[in-house]
Amino acid sequence: MIEVKGLTKSYGDFLAIKDVSFTAESGEILGFLGPNGAGKTTTMRILTGFMPATSGTVLIDGLDILTNSLEARRRIGYLPENPPVYYDMRVEGYLRFVAKLKGVQRQSLDEAVELAISRCGLEDVRYRICGQLSKGYKQRVGLAAAIIHNPSVMILDEPTIGLDPRQIIEIRKLIRELAKERTVVLSTHILPEVSQICQKVVIINDGRVVLEKRLDEISKEGSLEDVFLRAIAKESTGGLLAEAELEEVEAGRSTSGSL
């Protein structure tokens, strides 16, 4: 379970996110949406303890990410935007390293690595060097590293980016499976993905949460696309800017629609 209360992060004068609050229950997939530069990655980095917020709190299964950091971090599986693989390591060696780093006990190390490899479909590339893998495989290695220590909370920054359609389906299936007994927060640009696998949606724009709703409530109001566009358009005060943004998003929608 993740509880986020009043997160604010400023870099000097620039306010990246402002008063962001939401909760994600166990067994729930939360879709974290927003246009580019809205503050998604910043929020996720704060959730994972990579950097602290200027103010506000994050509780991971009731543990504060700042004051109880090691214990909280042990429960998090995090896939950053760019999968953090070492280019000079082999897939298996890398996963073994990550498992040790995440505190997997020595006797269950082999098991954890095997499970992650089979779950993410990495059997064919296990002895390949990470740097030589395609984008899609790197993404899967990153995902395998994120689940290797059986975390109770998973934070995935655009997990399906760079994958081919078949892999996307597989990874979505995997995420859905993992979410049964876990809390999953995933950020994405692909709206159909959200309607397929998420139970809850948080939309962030300009560093502020503009919508937090369960997906079944949203479907009563109309399609997710319309809700998303309305939510982010309402926020932008300058009419011209709103229109420009709308067009941008619509362009994005048409490409994602053709996928």
Partner 1 sequence: MRNTLTIAGRELQAYFVQPVAYVVMTVFLLLGGWFFFALLRRFELVLEMYAALRSTSGMESLNLNQAVIEPLLHNLAVVLVILVPAITMRTFAEEKRTGTYELLLTSPIRIGELVAGKFLAAALFVLLMVLLAGIFPLILVIFGNPEVPVMVSGYLGLAFVALCFVSVGLFTSSLTSNQIIAAISCFGALLLLYVISWPAEAGEVEFAGLLRYLSLPEHFSQMARGVISTQDIVYFLSLIAIALFLTQRSAESVRWR
Of 44, 124, 61, nearest to 91 by C-alpha is: 124
Given 5, 74, 126, 208, the residue binding partner 1 (CB under 8 A)? 74
Q: How far is the CB of 72 from partner 1 (least distance, A)?
A: 8
Site string for partner 1, 16-45 (x = CB under 8 A): -----------------------------x
Instruction: State the CB neighbour count (10 A cutoff) for residue 200.
Output: 22
Q: Which of 6, 55, 82, 135 binds partner 1 (CB under 8 A)?
A: 82
Q: Which is nearer to partner 1, 69 or 236 (CB)?
A: 69
DSSP helix/strand/coil, 62: coil
Interface with partner 1, residue 228, by CB under 8 A: no
User: Which residues lie closer than 8 Å to 156 by C-beta, 6 or more apart?
Assistant: 78, 79, 143, 146, 175, 184, 185, 186, 187
Closer residue to partner 1 (CB): 90 or 176: 90
As measured in angstroms, the least distance from the Cβ of 213 to partner 1 is 28
- Say if residues 178 and 197 touch (Cβ distance below 8 Å): no
Among 30, 38, 76, 113, binds partner 1 (CB under 8 A): 76
Q: Least Å distance between CB 7 and partner 1?
A: 15
40-44 long-range contacts, Cβ below 8 Å, gap at least 24?
Answer: 40/157, 40/187, 40/204, 41/81, 41/157, 41/187, 42/9, 42/16, 42/17, 42/207, 43/4, 43/7, 43/17, 43/204, 44/78, 44/80, 44/155, 44/157, 44/185, 44/187
CB of 145 to partner 1, least distance (A): 7
Under the binding rule (CB under 8 A), the answer on residue 162 touching partner 1 is no
Stretch that binds partner 1, among 32-40, 101-109, 214-222, 229-237 (CB under 8 A): 101-109
Largest distance between two CA atoms of the chain: 61
CB nearer partner 1, residue 52 or residue 192: 52
Integer Cα distance of 229 and 248 in angstroms: 10
Of positions 59, 84, 230, 242, contacts partner 1 by CB under 8 A: 84
User: Least Å distance between CB 89 and partner 1?
Assistant: 8
- Amino acid present at 199: Q
Q: Is 108 in the site for partner 1 (CB under 8 A)?
A: no
Site residues (vs partner 1, CB under 8 A): 11, 45, 48-52, 70-71, 73-74, 76, 78, 80, 82-89, 93, 97-98, 100-103, 145
